[in-house]
Amino acid sequence: MPWDSTVPLMVEIPLAFQMRIVKNMVEDVGLLDEAIPLPNVSGEILKIVLEYCDKHQDDGYTEPNEETLEMEEWDREFLERHITIIFRLSIAADYLDIRPLLDVICKFIVYKTRGKNPYQNRKFFRIESDWSPEEAKQIMKENGWIEGQF
């Protein structure tokens, strides 16, 4: 199955059908022999998504256990390798409607941020502080009692 991009990407039908958006397009319109446009996913991200789909091609979907952050070692290593683009991967998983990938990404983000202080999480999410160092120091002085309350 071709992929509509500057560089065509051929994908086997069972692999492509893990992307529910593709499966729905094919079932609704019958686009098996044509390129399928996926304008919201770059070729770089799509190749990474397809790596995940290929690994889990024979897995059935089960609802995630929200009580635990356990995940397969392969999944954790896969996401660690791609941590710098984790949010682009999550957007792609959502757009392509790949629920297992989106679930494991969400679980991974919780795993990486749980128990961290706001500064550590801001670093993980690459969020710059709106406050100057002086303002941050003053806010901590005034609200230091909150630390560890949550």
Q: What is the pLDDT of residues 68-87, one digit of tens each?
A: 778 899 999 999 999 989 99
Could you read off the pLDDT of 19-47 as tens digits, one per residue?
999 899 888 887 667 778 788 898 899 99
Cα 20–Cα 37–Cα 50 angle in degrees, nearest 5: 50
Split at pLDDT 50, 70, 90, the class of 4 is very low
pTM of the model: 0.76
Domain boundaries, the chain: 40-114
Residues 6 or more apart whose CB falls under 8 angstroms from that of 45 comprise 85, 88, 89, 92
Tell me the one-letter amino acid at 2: P
Please measure the distance between the N-terminal and C-terminal CA atoms of the chain and give it in whole angstroms. Answer: 49
Q: Which fold has domain 40-114?
A: Potassium Channel Kv1.1; Chain A (3.30.710)
